[in-house]
């Protein structure tokens, strides 16, 4: 007998028929004699609809009240799924984040899990119940509701699997595994049988939203066996695990992230301490910076460009603008019509040809590169957003076709 954690995403529970389909998958695992803990997301587009509702009332609602609102989405699903299982004659109980409880920090809308108290779940499993837990939500020390960030139900599932020492954490979604690129956008995308934690973490962080990046981070930390599978088809999925043959395939996937904006601080005096000042201002505002490019000094001035995510663009521009005199800079420019396209693969560190091949694909398609960033496991380029889907396609074709 095993303990299985299964997670079903929003599109897998979008209506009553789909909820019964999911109930069927749960029952299969339960009837095999497993203890089953299930994590679900809000139905279909519920979270987006709730955000739109909030905006009708208040353009800038507090993050605390947003979390109270958004957590209701998952609460609807747990109860409906429990009712479906009751109707099918199975013992079941639904639990919200605070009922578990899943304790988080107080960083509303981006909360991080601190501890999961497992006693309640364990006692329900002892009673042979199927336990259904609301994804994406928790409570802080004051018992205020928090959420983990968009896509966070994957992280709930992996965290529960780690805390309960589950044998496997199955992430069921609307595609049947992790592909070399988003299979909905790239027709030749190929399914991967397995992928290492590091590669999956990088892909997820660079825009492959099939898994929440923090879920992969946790899975690696606690050595959770993760598998991405289809809710609708009974076929093998993709295993996310520690080892694989690095030499087999250099590049494992191509990802795109549109949630990127570029800021350029122009005409900074070319002298020591200026980069420090720029990034210190940003750090004090808790603004995370990704790719950084500094031009070679000319006429005793230089430019520093960097990228931030869209929801930090306004704050970043404001803080730099307010400090232009301190920096001695001429002006600050920004643009948000850009995307980051990346290739990921653990074997690429020792293969310089990989980056060249990526740039060749972009050259062949006459796509201009604004910025480049490399690490042991990835190469990213910043390009115009309008070219991004085509860039993914041509880079993917270059490596996989």
**Shorter beta-carbon distance to ligand ASP: residue 208 or 361:** 208
Task: Return the DSSP state at 130.
Answer: E
- Contact flag: residue 10 with ligand ASP (CB under 6 A): yes
**Shorter beta-carbon distance to ligand ADP: residue 124 or 257:** 257
Contact track, ligand ASP, 61-80, x by CB under 6 A: ------------x-------
- Contact flag: residue 9 with ligand ADP (CB under 6 A): yes
- Contact flag: residue 177 with ligand ASP (CB under 6 A): no
Region from 94-102, 147-155, 197-205, 248-256 binding ligand ASP, contact rule CB under 6 A: 147-155
Region from 52-60, 179-187, 213-221, 324-332 binding ligand ADP, contact rule CB under 6 A: 179-187
Interface residue with Mg ion, options 97, 151, 152, 347 (CB under 5 A): 151
From ligand ADP, ligand ASP, Mg ion, none, interface partner of 219 (C-beta below 5 to 8 A by class): none
Q: What would the two tokens of residue 40 be? A: 């679900």
Asked if residue 251 lies in contact with residue 283, where contact means CB atoms within 8 angstroms, the answer is no
The footprint of ligand ADP on residues 235-274 (CB under 6 A) is: 253
**Shorter beta-carbon distance to ligand ADP: residue 181 or 320:** 181
Q: What would the two tokens of residue 321 be? A: 């603008």
Interface residue with ligand ADP, options 38, 81, 100, 210 (CB under 6 A): 210
CB atoms within 10 A of CB 220: 19
Asked if residue 188 lies in contact with residue 182, where contact means CB atoms within 8 angstroms, the answer is no
**Shorter beta-carbon distance to ligand ASP: residue 90 or 136:** 136
> For every residue of 183-245, which 3-state class applies, written as one string?
CCCCCCCCECCEEEHHHHHHHHHCCCCCCCHHHHHHHHHHCCCEEEEECCCCCCCEEEECCCC
- Contact flag: residue 237 with ligand ASP (CB under 6 A): no
- Contact flag: residue 218 with ligand ADP (CB under 6 A): no
- Contact flag: residue 170 with ligand ADP (CB under 6 A): no
**Shorter beta-carbon distance to Mg ion: residue 9 or 237:** 9
Interface residue with ligand ADP, options 151, 152, 237, 267 (CB under 6 A): 151
Total residues belonging to the chain:
401
Interface residue with ligand ADP, options 69, 181, 282, 367 (CB under 6 A): 181
C-alpha span between 223 and 11 (Å, rounded): 27
Asked if residue 246 lies in contact with residue 346, where contact means CB atoms within 8 angstroms, the answer is yes
264 - beta bridge partners? 305, 333
State the pairing for strand pair 3-8/102-104.
unpaired
Region from 9-17, 72-80, 101-109, 126-134 binding ligand ADP, contact rule CB under 6 A: 9-17
The footprint of ligand ADP on residues 25-64 (CB under 6 A) is: 41
Region from 73-81, 177-185, 272-280, 290-298 binding ligand ADP, contact rule CB under 6 A: 177-185
For the four alpha carbons of 140, 69, 112 and 218, in that order, the dihedral sign comes to: positive
| Count of alpha carbons within 13 angstroms of residue 137, beta-carbon side | 32
Q: For 10, list phi and psi in degrees, rounded to 5.
A: -55, -40
Interface residue with ligand ADP, options 10, 73, 97, 138 (CB under 6 A): 10
> For every residue of 229-266, which 3-state class applies, written as one string?
EECCCCCCCEEEECCCCCCCCCCCEEEEEEEEEEEEEE
Q: How far is the CB of 70 from ligand ASP (least distance, A)?
A: 7
Binding region for ligand ASP (CB under 6 A): 9-10, 41-42, 47, 73, 135-136, 150-153
């Amino acid at each position: 007998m095993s303990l299985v954690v299964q997670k079903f995403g929003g599109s897998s529970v979008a209506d009553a028929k789909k909820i019964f389909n999911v109930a069927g998958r749960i029952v299969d695992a339960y009837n095999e004699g497993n203890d089953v803990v299930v994590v679900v997301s809000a139905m279909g587009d519920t979270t987006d609809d709730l955000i739109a509702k909030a905006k009708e009332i208040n353009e800038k609602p507090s993050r605390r009240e947003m979390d109270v609102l958004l957590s209701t989405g998952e609460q609807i699903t747990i109860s409906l799924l429990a009712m479906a299982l009751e109707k099918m004659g199975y013992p079941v109980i639904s639990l919200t984040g605070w009922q578990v409880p899943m304790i988080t920090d107080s960083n509303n809308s981006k909360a991080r899990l601190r501890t999961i108290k497992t006693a309640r779940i364990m006692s329900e499993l002892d009673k042979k119940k199927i336990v259904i837990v609301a994804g994406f939500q928790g409570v802080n020390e004051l018992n205020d509701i928090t959420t983990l960030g968009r896509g966070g139900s994957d992280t709930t599932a992996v965290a529960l699997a780690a805390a309960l020492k589950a044998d496997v954490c199955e992430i069921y979604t609307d595609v049947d595994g992790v592909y070399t690129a988003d299979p909905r956008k790239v027709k030749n995308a190929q399914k991967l049988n397995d992928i290492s934690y590091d590669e999956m973490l990088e892909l997820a962080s660079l825009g492959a939203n099939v898994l929440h990046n923090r879920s992969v981070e946790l899975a690696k930390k606690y050595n959770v066996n993760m598998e991405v599978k289809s809710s609708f088809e009974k076929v093998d999925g993709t295993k996310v695990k520690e080892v694989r043959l690095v030499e087999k395939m250099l590049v494992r996937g191509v990802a795109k992230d549109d949630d990127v904006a570029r800021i350029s601080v122009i005409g900074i005096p070319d002298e020591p301490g200026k980069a420090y000042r720029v990034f210190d201002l940003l750090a004090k505002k808790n603004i995370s910076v990704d790719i950084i490019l500094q031009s070679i000094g000319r006429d005793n001035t230089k430019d520093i460009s960097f990228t931030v995510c869209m929801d930090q663009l306004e704050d970043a521009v404001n803080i730099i603008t307010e400090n232009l005199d301190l920096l001695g800079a001429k002006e600050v420019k920004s643009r948000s019509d850009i995307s980051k396209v990346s290739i990921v693969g653990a074997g690429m560190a020792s293969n310089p040809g990989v980056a060249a091949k990526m740039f060749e694909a972009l050259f062949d398609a006459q796509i201009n590169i604004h910025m480049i960033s490399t690490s042991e496991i990835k190469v990213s380029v910043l390009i115009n957003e309008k070219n991004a889907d085509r860039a993914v396609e041509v880079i993917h074709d270059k490596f996989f076709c």
